[in-house]
Structure 1
């Protein structure tokens, strides 16, 4: 399957943290063609293993990208049928007012997010952002009909389909981090053309946006020698300084910071230079807020790396990435994996 088509399939689907099971069939079907074994654990993590060429005691590399998206949840139904809701993950309330949504009840139900119109607001309210608790979802039904179809706890997603921008850029919801899933899918296709000693586990993790629980349990099960999180980084926009962001179209960000193993990071940059793959440096002095954080502190510790795909407008329904960056991320991962062997692993893990 073409990687962009696969990404569109994922982004147009639903899968709020804790409700990711709707993505399983698409991911399993895509990875099944290029991997040797796929398992799904009790939390819903999808682990696709591509075996290496060595017969025994293979190096184990875990590549993780999370499939969950931020979303909303039904918390109450008013007497007039309006739905009150809360957030799952880090939604900025300023970005959701006036949005079209899908309430995932007994069936998928279209609705809109509304609030008091500006004409009827008090003067003191005009300069204040409207709080999420003051918004409602209107699906057009009476309370009785709503209660037939909707239950407390049902998930809600923004109604959005992927759009092509100019050139190689796209806009969609849930590119954080389904762009990462697309990158590891492109990587496994690249690896199918290469010889590599390491056993590689491509893991589509759950619940990164709320707890990183998926990466925690899957890395505990796999117990890899190296863990790599593929996520998104803050794409440069006019209000962001270059030191706080990474440019679209100029390759993935290689993270530098306390969450990152320094020798492995150096090796990653060397591979990028060797194969003329563009990359950027991304500074993260503390925990990265990615699955690498969970991997790093699992068991007795797993040496970890982060590759970040530049993304604009993070945690909105119009996130933007460049497909070129996804391709470069995949190639860098593939060549890095191919460079790891039983013979050189110990030296790479030394400080």
Structure 2
């Protein structure tokens, strides 16, 4: 399976935070061919281990990309059959009005998100964004029919499949962070071509969008020497400042900030320059809001890094990435991992 095919399968699938088990088998099937060991832990993380070339006391490096996506959840069924809903993860209500959705009840049910037409709104409502609590999902059934198929707590996802744009760019829901899973997949294939001392754990984590629980428990179990989160960063668009964004097609963003180990970050940039891999700097003075934060504060503290894939329109159903950045990010990770040895690790981790 090539990386783009895996990305399409994952993005077209469903896996809202807490319900990632629906795409677990796709990830296991893809990574199994390239792993020495693969397992699923108690929380649902998929852990694929690629062993290093040394036999004992190997360095352990954990790569984390989260497999969950933001979504919606049924909270009420009205007398007329309309479904009221709430959000799972950070959703801007302005982006869901008029969307096609899939209600994941006893079977998948097509529906649409609606609200009061503008013609019937009060003048005072015209310039205000419609709140989520004022929207409903219409699947076309009466309340009696809905209740046979839908329960309170069922998840809902936007109905969207991956689209090819021009060049190497694609648009989809859930590229945050299934693009990160694609990077991990590309990286494990790259590591099959080069020697590396470290044992590398490729962890597809759960629940990043709501709690980072998967990275916390995964890092506790593995207790790695180095943790690296692979997530997405804000891609440059006309309305955003270039200083706050990273550009598509120009390589991953290497994060600078309090969550990031300075010597490891310096080594990462040196490797990028050595192998002519394009990269950008991403500033995150506070918590990164990624699995890097969770890994950093696990156990006694794990030296951590964060690599960000440039992505436009984050947390919408039309997120956009450039597949070139997937390849650049994976190569940088692979060469960085190959550069870490038992002899060099202690010096890199010193402050």
TM bucket by the smaller chain?
over 0.9
**Cα shift at 1:261:** 0.1
**1:124-156 superposed Cα distances (whole Å, 9 cap, x missing partner):** 000000000000000000000100000000000
Partner of 1:92: 92
**1:19-66 superposed Cα distances (whole Å, 9 cap, x missing partner):** 000111110010001010011111100000000010100000000000
Partner of 1:33: 33
Partner of 1:118: 118
- TM-score, normalising length from structure 2? 1.00
Partner of 2:185: 185
Residue 238 (1) aligns with residue 238 (2): yes
Distance 2:24 2:152 in 1: 24
Unpaired segments ≥5 residues, structure 1: none
Partner-residue secondary structure (3-state), 2:294? helix
Partner of 1:22: 22
Distance 1:110 1:92 in 2: 21
Distance 1:116 1:176 in 2: 31
Partner of 1:343: 343
Distance 1:315 1:211 in 2: 16
Partner-residue secondary structure (3-state), 2:76? strand
Distance 1:185 1:336 in 2: 16
Distance 1:347 1:111 in 2: 57
Partner of 1:204: 204
For residues 272-291 of structure 1, the aligned pairs below 5 Å read 272-291=272-291
Partner-residue secondary structure (3-state), 1:111? strand
Distance 1:130 1:90 in 2: 16
Distance 2:147 2:179 in 1: 36
Distance 2:263 2:242 in 1: 25
RMSD: 0.3
Distance 1:40 1:29 in 2: 12
Partner of 2:299: 299
Distance 1:187 1:254 in 2: 16
Partner-residue secondary structure (3-state), 2:184? helix
Residue 83 (1) aligns with residue 86 (2): no
Distance 1:10 1:17 in 2: 14
Size of the aligned set, in residue pairs, is 351
Partner-residue secondary structure (3-state), 2:210? coil
Distance 1:23 1:271 in 2: 33
Distance 2:290 2:73 in 1: 23
Partner of 1:140: 140
Partner-residue secondary structure (3-state), 1:116? coil
Partner-residue secondary structure (3-state), 1:76? strand
Distance 1:335 1:266 in 2: 14
Partner-residue secondary structure (3-state), 1:65? strand
Partner-residue secondary structure (3-state), 1:64? strand
Distance 1:198 1:7 in 2: 26
Distance 1:41 1:26 in 2: 16
Partner of 1:64: 64
Runs of 4+ in 1 over 2 A off after TM superposition: none
Distance 1:6 1:296 in 2: 29
Distance 1:154 1:215 in 2: 25
Distance 1:58 1:240 in 2: 44
Partner-residue secondary structure (3-state), 2:270? helix
Partner of 1:221: 221
Unpaired segments ≥5 residues, structure 2: none
